[in-house]
Amino acid sequence: MAEFRPLANPAPLGLGGFALTTFVLNVHNAGILADVGTALPLGLFYGGLAQLCAGLLEFGTGNTFGMCAFGSYGAFWISLATLIYFKDNNVLPGFKDFHGALLWTLIAWTIFTFIMTIATFPKAKALIVVFVSLLILFILLDIHVITGSAGIGHFAGWEGIWTAFTAWYLMAAELINPAFGKEVLPIGAPK
């Protein structure tokens, strides 16, 4: 008979990759950090690759939501970092409409995030807070790209920092609660 080996929870890895990368990029968006260069490697590897890995591991646990969220947002970070790199380094000289490409990419991710947010409603309240915060962030980024308003861009940055902290909180709960065998950090688990 095969021995049962419990699987590790991949959510903290995915949440950590999401939170840290979101934090660093939005420190730039808020106007605190002038150079976005540090966000690009994070977007490729921790926000991108680590979240993709978490999504694949969620597949192994049977968690469709986690698989879809981490897999998709991991791909988001890789594609965003690549898009910014291509623009900044003129990799595709024929690529003239970065603004339009960014706008429609963000709108598509806003729609995706809206769907994912609805899917969180029967889940833990902490997860709902993460996704509602992320949805607000995407809406603010859409408005910023449409209007070009630096004020909205900075406000979006502060919203992104908040979003990162909500994800870090959930990541901490996913690590700390099992370590102590009790709910140290409440997440508002569904009844």
pLDDT in tens, 154-166: 999 999 999 999 9
Note the pLDDT tens digit of each residue in 56-110.
999 999 999 999 999 999 999 999 999 888 888 888 776 778 889 899 999 999 9
Three-state DSSP at 148 gives coil
Type of residue numbered 124: A
Q: How many other β-carbons are positioned within 10 Å of the β-carbon of residue 108?
A: 12
pLDDT of residue 128: 98
37: DSSP letter: T
- Other beta carbons less than 10 A from residue 35's beta carbon: 7
Token pair, residue 85, equals: 């790199």
Domains and CATH numbers, the chain: 11-179 (1.25.40)
pLDDT at 1 over 70: no
Give Cα 43 to chain centroid, integer Å: 10
Two structure tokens written together for 170: 């959930």
pTM exceeds cut of 0.85: yes
